[in-house]
Amino acid sequence: MTKEEIIKPENLVYKKPTLMNDTPMHYCPGCSHGVVHKLIAEVIEEMGMEEKSIGISPVGCAVFAYNYLDIDWQEAAHGRAPALATAVKRLWPDRLVFTYQGDGDLACIGTAETIHALNRGENITIIFINNAIYGMTGGQMAPTTLVGQKTATCPYGRDVHLHGYPLKMADIAAGLEGTAYVTRQSVQSVPAIRKAKKAIRKAFENSMAGKGSNLVEIVSTCNSGWKMSPEKANQWMEEHMFPFYPLGDLKDKNS
């Protein structure tokens, strides 16, 4: 195939979303965050919402999400993204408003904000990156750390007698009256990435249609925090995370 044929639109198999700018990402190679950013950018473009999307960025490794996607952003204090998203969506009901949060941000310091925003049925989407650890601060135990999983603050593994059980936030969300769509996805393979993208699209469409709150959990890796190579981290996630956090839709009010 000649170069001219390769760049024909009908032969194009990969294109960087125009919403993703050229700022080099600070994420570790192999991290799930970059893949999810790309999916969000693609969905916003496909929905034609480039000028009407507002992301609420967290505290955690994704704190700089606003540097990579050329949409409007508001930075929230640690854990408060769903409260801020509530205000933004109520002020601008015609905007696509989503939060982007890690498990420390969403399921620890921000548990109350998350549960109450979802329960109120705010027309927002929460993108929840569950990598079972505090990535940014050096790999401490998170509420979602698996039983037996070793972290900087539980070097002998999470012990239920000392630390309690991992929180299944999507299961909690699915039981709340205000949620329209709750799903658990992953991005470690091409089929998984495609499914995750469809889930993000459905959640964003629900938000715009005023159907209630949407939670898209992405079971993810933190290869640096887990002290594994990216490949080993994906394998570990499939073997250990997926049995405890099974993938698929937990709730879809429209189906």
Q: Which two tokens stand for residue 192?
A: 């998984």
Q: Which two tokens stand for residue 252?
A: 């879809």
> How far is 172 from 233, CA to CA, in rounded Å?
26
User: Which CA distances in Å does 213 have to 98, 106, 118, 150, 206?
Assistant: 10, 15, 5, 33, 8
Q: Which two tokens stand for residue 58?
A: 């967290």
Binders of ligand TPP among residues 209 to 228 (CB under 6 A) are 222
Q: Residues 125, 206, 223, 234: which binds ligand SF4 (CB under 6 A)?
A: 223
By a kind-dependent CB cut-off of 5 to 8 A, residue 170 interacts, out of ligand TPP, ligand SF4, none, with none
> How far is 145 from 147, CA to CA, in rounded Å?
7
How far apart are CB 123 and ligand TPP at their closest, in Å? Answer: 24
According to DSSP, residue 247 is labeled -
Beta-bridge partners for 184: 217, 248
Point out which span in 110-118, 157-165, 168-176, 218-226 binds ligand SF4 (CB under 6 A). Answer: 218-226
Q: Residues 125, 151, 179, 224: which binds ligand SF4 (CB under 6 A)?
A: 224
Beta-bridge partners for 175: none
**DSSP H or E run through 189:** none
Q: Which is nearer to ligand SF4, 114 or 151 (CB)?
A: 151
Under rule CB under 6 A, residue 138 binds ligand TPP: no
Under rule CB under 6 A, residue 149 binds ligand TPP: no
What is the β-pairing status of strands 72-75 and 140-141?
A: unpaired
Point out which span in 26-34, 118-126, 173-181, 197-205 binds ligand SF4 (CB under 6 A). Answer: 26-34
Under rule CB under 6 A, residue 136 binds ligand TPP: yes
Q: Which is nearer to ligand SF4, 129 or 208 (CB)?
A: 129
Beta-bridge partners for 249: 183
Q: Which two tokens stand for residue 66?
A: 């606003």
How far apart are CB 63 and ligand TPP at their closest, in Å? Answer: 7
Q: Give the interface with ligand TPP as residue ranges (CB under 6 A).
A: 59-62, 78, 102-105, 109, 129, 131, 133-137, 142, 222
- Give the binding site for ligand SF4 (CB under 6 A): 27-28, 31, 33, 61, 131, 135-136, 222-225
